[in-house]
Amino acid sequence: MTRKRTTTVTGYGRLTGKILFSCVLIVMMLAALSGCGRVKTADELYKEAVRRHGECEIISQAENEDGTVLLLRDDLQGFEYRISSGMNSLTIDGASFGSVEHTGDTFDKALEAYVLSECRPEIDEICEGFGARADKSDIGFLIIRSEDAEKGEKATLACAEVIQTYNLNGRLDRWEIACYHLDDKNYYNTERYGSVVLPDIEWVDREQEVINYYTEMAHIETDVNAQFIRKEEGTFADTGAELRRVESILGTDYPDEMSDPVTFYYFRASDGSEYFLCDFHYYDEEFRQANWYTNYREVVPEK
């Protein structure tokens, strides 16, 4: 039986959202009232840019009571970017709670544009040789599209090697070059073959990507030293969980019948115990928060 999709949000989901939204508002209000009541000076912004991204040269600057903007040239790779400081008004339901300073910069976008412009000719040549195509990605850095999975993998690895030559001081670490099936008619819903994540020039197929994702979730929600062991397919009935506590997430698959399929990802905890994490979100007994369903605390009791 295939899993069902939902286009509604449960009352519990809305409640959780309201709680999180209230917490965010409280934090913002505290920040606004804690003395962050002025824009940064040009000197402060320059020091911030150096701290964030490394040595740079000021090309131009504009500074007044409304804000400060610096145009900078990166010393390491020569591209230009902006860093700015301004005040954001904090207004809730028409009521004003003052303003809070915000510092933003365009470094990441400028770095992406620089790297892509520098290596694009070589990337296009590589893709042409494998019958593939390179597209800019809205989520990662680059998408390689190919009708053939094997050729797509080879093209992705070759392109990753080119891009890695621009990875000075680890600036491009965690950049992803993903590979999808080439399908112009169904552009945004095509099969994903896998990816390469810098600095490693190593192919990660789709199955391993999913395993890596749930391993990361296990590190976050259960044990930072969790080690993946295996995965097994089962049904919701095998979990011992209650259907009423499954969180329905807009646009995603989730079990809503006892016979619906569930994937169990098994991990080894720090003490050697074996536990699993399942691929659906599950509310706590008070329906306040939902996390990936796991029997971790049953197997490894909290200290």
Q: Do 151 and 176 belong together in one domain?
A: yes
Residues 216-219: contacts with CB within 8 Å, 24+ apart? 217/277, 217/292, 218/265, 218/267, 218/277, 218/294
Residues 6+ apart with CB under 8 A from 148: 131
Q: Is the dihedral of CA 234, 239, 245, 247 positive or negative?
A: negative
- The answer to whether residue 182 is domain-embedded is yes
Q: Do 237 and 254 belong together in one domain?
A: yes
Q: Do 77 and 157 belong together in one domain?
A: no
Instruction: Output helix, strand, coil percentages for the chain, rounded to the nearest 5.
Output: 35, 35, 30
User: Smallest Cα–Cα separation from 296: which of 233, 234, 223?
Assistant: 223
Q: Do 234 and 160 belong together in one domain?
A: no
Q: Do 135 and 214 belong together in one domain?
A: no
Residue where a domain stops, chosen among 202, 228, 261: 202
* The two three-digit tokens of residue 256, written as one number: 């809503």
Residue where a domain stops, chosen among 202, 218, 252: 202
- The answer to whether residue 4 is domain-embedded is no
Which residues span the domain enclosing 150? 110-202
- The answer to whether residue 56 is domain-embedded is yes
Q: What is the pLDDT of residue 184?
A: 63
Q: Do 100 and 141 belong together in one domain?
A: no
Q: DSSP states of 198-209 as a string?
A: TT----EEHHHH
User: Smallest Cα–Cα separation from 183: which of 123, 143, 142, 229?
Assistant: 143
Q: Do 116 and 70 belong together in one domain?
A: no
Q: Do 189 and 115 belong together in one domain?
A: yes
Q: What is the pLDDT of residue 97?
A: 66
Q: Do 217 and 191 belong together in one domain?
A: no
Q: Do 118 and 173 belong together in one domain?
A: yes
- The answer to whether residue 42 is domain-embedded is yes
| Helix H or strand E segment including 41 | none
Q: What is the pLDDT of residue 185?
A: 62
Q: What is the pLDDT of residue 249?
A: 86
Number of domains within the chain:
3
Q: What is the pLDDT of residue 63?
A: 87
- The answer to whether residue 83 is domain-embedded is yes
**Peptide bond before residue 121 is cis, with ω within 30 degrees of 0:** no
Tens of each residue's pLDDT in the chain, 303 residues: 444 333 223 333 434 444 444 444 454 444 444 445 688 999 999 999 999 999 999 999 998 878 999 999 999 999 999 999 988 777 676 676 677 888 999 999 999 999 999 999 999 999 999 999 999 887 778 999 999 999 999 999 999 999 999 999 999 999 999 999 987 666 566 799 999 999 999 999 999 999 999 999 999 999 999 999 999 999 999 999 999 999 998 878 899 999 999 999 999 999 999 999 999 999 999 999 999 999 999 998 766
Cβ count near 271 (within 10 Å): 9
User: Smallest Cα–Cα separation from 176: which of 159, 191, 189, 188?
Assistant: 159
Residue where a domain stops, chosen among 54, 76, 105: 105
Residue 237, strand partner residues? none
- The answer to whether residue 73 is domain-embedded is yes
Q: DSSP states of 210-267 as a string?
A: HHHHHHHHHHHHT-TT-EEEEEEEEEGGGGT--GGGBPP-TTSEE--STTSEEEEEEE
- The answer to whether residue 260 is domain-embedded is yes
Q: Does the pTM of the predicted model rise above 0.75?
A: yes
The CA-based angle 267-20-93, given to 5 degrees, is 165
Q: Do 47 and 73 belong together in one domain?
A: yes
Q: What is the pLDDT of residue 206?
A: 96
Q: Do 198 and 239 belong together in one domain?
A: no
- The answer to whether residue 88 is domain-embedded is yes
CA 228 to chain CA centroid, Å, is 21
Q: What is the pLDDT of residue 12?
A: 34
